[in-house]
Amino acid sequence: MPILRIIENPRYRLGLYSLAGAGTTESLPLEDNDRQLFDSFTSDRRKREFLAVRSLLFQMTSGSGRIVYEDAQKPLLEGFPGKISISHSASMVAVMISDMVCGIDVEETSRNVDRIASRFLCQEELDWTALSDDPAMARIVCWSAKEAIFKWAGISDTDFRRDMQIMPFPIADQGSISAIHRSGDHISRLALYYFFELNNAVVWCVE
């Protein structure tokens, strides 16, 4: 389970960890609460995800950061300045730390979201993604972008189809995305960024 890379940016730190293969990071120090939580998991996959997040956090904060959770199970960062966002797919874990509100999502590019596209894309988004050079990939990135916005907004009753809109963008190895998030009468215009890593789309928002 290797750390793939940690990206340092003036606005954020972004870490990626591969879940490929088996095994655990036995040398990773865990506090008592984390150890008890880890021991409560019965799924090997859940244990790998848990340790991957803590391993990334240990490297990204030089061992000083700790994850705690709100009542709504939103992760908070203690012992290190900033805010945190976490995501995982079947094969990858991502952790983002920023002084600003942030949201990150990773999604395997092999996932077929066409059958649920009408649930999270409005008609305009369905139309322009259908005309994309790679419609399936455009919709995967749109899904991941909306997941990242959802985490950034922190509003549990957000409707992906009604409250978010992704503007058309060309699919490339990496790029930027313009989006809108609506909350009541307030409209936020957001910039997101994406790239692909080991057959995963990585999309994030920092505002």
Q: What is the CATH number of the domain that holds 81?
A: 3.90.470.20
73-83 residue pLDDT tens: 788 999 999 99
Nearest to 52 by CA among 73, 82, 23: 23
On whether both 51 and 110 belong to a single domain, the answer is: no
What CATH number is attached to the domain comprising 201?
Answer: 3.90.470
On whether both 197 and 138 belong to a single domain, the answer is: yes
How many domains are contained in the chain?
Answer: 2
Neighbours of 80 (CB within 10 A): 15
Burial per residue of 160-170, b for 16 or more beta-carbon CB atoms within 10 angstroms, e otherwise: bbebbbbeebe
How far apart, in whole angstroms, are the C-alpha atoms of residue 150 and residue 147?
Answer: 5
49-65 residue pLDDT tens: 999 999 999 999 998 99
Would you say the pTM of this structure is higher than 0.75? Answer: yes
Identify the domain boundary among 75, 100, 125: 100
Residue at token pair 């907004």:
153
- Percent of the chain topping pLDDT 70: 95
On whether both 120 and 41 belong to a single domain, the answer is: no
Identify the domain boundary among 100, 132, 150: 100
Identify the domain boundary among 53, 73, 100: 100
Cβ within 8 Å of residue 4, ≥6 positions away = 16, 17, 18, 92, 197, 198
On whether both 198 and 113 belong to a single domain, the answer is: yes
Cβ within 8 Å of residue 96, ≥6 positions away = 12, 13, 14, 15, 84, 85, 86, 102, 103, 104, 204, 206
On whether both 112 and 198 belong to a single domain, the answer is: yes
177-197 residue pLDDT tens: 999 999 999 999 999 999 999
On whether both 61 and 44 belong to a single domain, the answer is: yes
Quote the strand ranges of the chain, DSSP E. Answer: 3-9, 12-18, 66-69, 75-78, 83-88, 92-98, 102-108, 164-166, 174-183, 186-197, 200-206
On whether both 60 and 94 belong to a single domain, the answer is: yes
Neighbours of 188 (CB within 10 A): 15
On whether both 57 and 148 belong to a single domain, the answer is: no
On whether both 71 and 113 belong to a single domain, the answer is: no
On whether both 159 and 190 belong to a single domain, the answer is: yes
> Among 14-23, 56-65, 116-125, 169-178, where is mean pLDDT lowest?
14-23
The domain in which residue 200 lies consists of 106-206
On whether both 89 and 130 belong to a single domain, the answer is: no
The distance between the two most distant Cα atoms of the chain, rounded to a whole number of Å, is 52
On whether both 82 and 135 belong to a single domain, the answer is: no
